[in-house]
Chain A
Amino acid sequence: MSYAYLFKYIIIGDTGVGKSCLLLQFTDKRFQPVHDLTIGVEFGARMITIDGKQIKLQIWDTAGQESFRSITRSYYRGAAGALLVYDITRRDTFNHLTSWLEDARQHSNSNMVIMLIGNKSDLEARREVKKEEGEAFAREHGLVFMETSAKTAANVEEAFIDTAKEIYRKIQEGVFDINNEANGIKLGPQHSPNSPTSPSSGNPLGGGRAGNCC
């Protein structure tokens, strides 16, 4: 399956807020063992359709590595979108958003679309952070906001797809230079003016591999 665009995402936030579950919920609805460690097999990718165009989302997740903040530099480099996740049942994860956001803004390009996610909305009884607080934080920092439940899948599709729509809108408006891969966007193989090779990673993603995305 070929694609028109490839968007690179990252998922950030404190330990235990459900980052990996969000990714797994979004990319792996089929029952199958995940995380094939065979070298080179891509993990965390899915095709979506926006405006009739096939878009491949490639999602990088930092789960399990949160205490190594510096690692994030290699993650942020060339990301078009970020999901910044907190847990609505743990206030401290909400309080740490500022420092994650600072990290994200420092290390990424200024056009990166950041979606704020209040996860675990199924645990209403244990809620410590009001929805309005999430909304206020998002408004103040210019983020898109959504509450999700990786457990029941509520809003998970929307979180990833709305972020993609926002990136797509920015492309249409000409905000992103799509020929500069540092922006986290690649043209699909048949769309690019000249053969797309990635100078940074040296791993051009051919269309042949795209169908094989997980």
Chain B
Amino acid sequence: MAGLPEKMIEYVLETRIDAQTDDISLDTFLEDFILTHIIYMPSNILCNYLKNYYSRRGSMPYSSNGLMPSSVETDFDVEQQFIAKRRVIAFLSIWESVFGIHFFLDTVANSFVEEMYCCVLEDSKRIPNMLPILDQITGLRQLRENAMRVLSRHPTTILDCGVYSAQAPAPDPILSMDTCNQCIYLSDTTFITMSIRLDKNASEIADLARCKLKCASTHEECFLIEVKSSGERVVFAPTEVSVPTMLSLNGRLYVVFKDEIDSLTPLSDQQGPIDGMYHSILDLMGSSEIAQQLGIFHTHLFDATDEIELIFQVIGRDQFSGRMPSNLDILLRRFNEVQYWTTTEILLAAPSKRVVYLKKLIKIASITKENKDLMTFFAITLGLSNLAVSRLTSLWDKLPTKLKRQYGEFEALLDPSRNHRAYRMLIAKITPPVIPFVPLLLKDLTFMHEGNKTYFAGLVNFEKMKFSRYR
């Protein structure tokens, strides 16, 4: 199916909304439209359309440029006007239910609720039977107020020099005004620590850092660079947003001139914890407790992440003004953190303890799998498959056959054969709630996006949008 965006919303309002009642599950076409409209119909256009539809007094032939009615063909009677209003409010209500609190992060949608409330209130004075509609929009307005209590909080710190802050809001979402305390280095490795709002882009961060370092006099262009612990250098595009949450573990952020980029190398403290200073948590807690605590934390991070952030990440992080995938960044960062934690636990353990830790980590992985926390499960499995651990043959030889077999089964679930068949079979069998393997969601969406046109002869390729509902 393909169509002009406004024809699709008209179709939704005319044919799908009335059929949607509370006691049936949500119409998938409707849900797909709501989840993906941001790609081809930004919220302001959508809300304008809804407003027009709401206030129309006759059928709306389309002017050539789309949304505005060019003339009114036939006058609606009061009943038809009433139906149009009911549909718009019902649509709004479903839109909210799909995204929950994330709906109110969309500033356009957020203020539209208030606007429609005023309209309905006004109309209820002159049109009979408006009461149920008024009730519905009042309910929505109440949800908005509840959400605003969460969302209008003070800005909070998310990462404090790379460490996840205790004040971070999960399971409530990170907001664009939230900040990260970030060390920013110069090429001579002197650094300053700055509080950076997540909605500041790379170019603004470079300017701010330069002002603070009092080297703003020169007009030479500056670059924001990450030097990873592996020595890789990543140049951030000037429009890149939510930069601090994107950094890799132990990555360092530099602001430098172009000719300095190639001289940047990792610092010694980027190589992780030092032997002898490291104390293992594995000695202090039981397997079930560790698995459970990881599960609770990861559920919070997962709940804070909106599905729409996957779309931001795949289509372009800087393409959706004011919205960014910070929660997704934190989730993925955490995934890597657990991977490297696992590897580190084995490598820094005293040789006599290694096999004990290995057994315990496999045990923890198996419990997280039972707990349907596949994020932790795969992070630990991948951490143990790190070459630095997997090549320790004598260590693996000490492992009881049963555990070795069990770990082999875990690894087999990551086999990419036949498009990750093993994993897809596993997740198909699990009843929600489940924390999925998010990297694969990103891969699937990447291929859906690259492999399918968004528009075909100017029409939105809705078949593509339907793909996106796979989760």
Residues of A bordering B, CB below 8 Å: 20-21, 24, 28, 33-35, 37, 39-44, 60-65, 67-68, 70-71, 73-75, 90, 92, 95-96, 99, 106-107, 200-203
Contacts and interface: CB of A to CB of B under 8 A. Distances in A.
Given A64-B445, A71-B382, 16 more contacts: A20-B447, A28-B451, A33-B452, A37-B470, A40-B418, A40-B421, A43-B447, A65-B440, A73-B386, A74-B416, A90-B235, A92-B233, A92-B235, A96-B232, A200-B412, A201-B415
Contact of A74 (B248, B332, B385, B448): B385
13 contacts: A21-B450, A35-B444, A35-B448, A64-B445, A65-B443, A67-B248, A68-B339, A70-B382, A73-B387, A73-B390, A106-B387, A202-B412, A203-B421
A65 to B, nearest CB: 5
A42 B451 contact: no
Nearest to B231: A99
Given A39-B428, A64-B314, A74 B415 contact: yes
A68 B335 contact: yes
A183 B360 CA distance: 33
B197 interface: no
B187 interface: no
Contacts of B470: 37
Q: Looking at B248, B335, B446, B467, which has the most chain A CB atoms within 10 Å of its CB?
A: B446
Interface in B433-470: 439-440, 442-448, 450-452, 463-464, 467, 470
A20 B446 contact: yes
Contact of B332 (A33, A67, A99, A203): A67
Nearest to B314: A64
B446 to A, nearest CB: 3
Nearest to A91: B235
A74 B411 contact: yes
B336 interface: yes
A146 B332 CA distance: 33
Contacts of B386: 70, 73
Contact of A70 (B234, B339, B444): B339
A20 B443 CA distance: 9
B436 to A, nearest CB: 13
Contacts of A41: 418-419
A63 B248 contact: no
B424 interface: yes
Interface of B: 230-235, 248, 314, 332, 335-336, 339, 382-383, 385-387, 390, 411-412, 414-419, 421-422, 424-425, 428, 439-440, 442-448, 450-452, 463-464, 467, 470
B382 A20 contact: no
Contacts of B424: 37, 39-40
A76 to B, nearest CB: 10
A20 B450 CA distance: 7
Contacts of B336: 67-68
B385 A63 contact: no
B443 A203 contact: no
A73 B382 CA distance: 9
B338 to A, nearest CB: 11
B416 A64 contact: no
A191 B467 CA distance: 38
Contacts of B416: 60, 74-75
Given A21-B450, A64-B314, A107-B387, A74 B414 contact: yes
Nearest to B378: A71
A71 B467 CA distance: 24
Given A34-B447, A99-B231, A64 B442 contact: yes
A200 B66 CA distance: 56
B451 A201 contact: no
Nearest to A90: B235
B296 to A, nearest CB: 23
A33 B411 contact: no
Contacts of A68: 332, 335-336, 339, 382, 439
B385 A33 contact: no
Q: Looking at B382, B386, B425, which has the most chain A CB atoms within 10 Å of its CB?
A: B382
A64 B332 CA distance: 12
Contacts of A21: 450
A197 to B, nearest CB: 13
B304 to A, nearest CB: 19
Contacts of A75: 416
A40 B417 CA distance: 9
Contacts of A202: 412
A169 B237 CA distance: 43
Q: Looking at B385, B425, B442, B447, which has the most chain A CB atoms within 10 Å of its CB?
A: B447
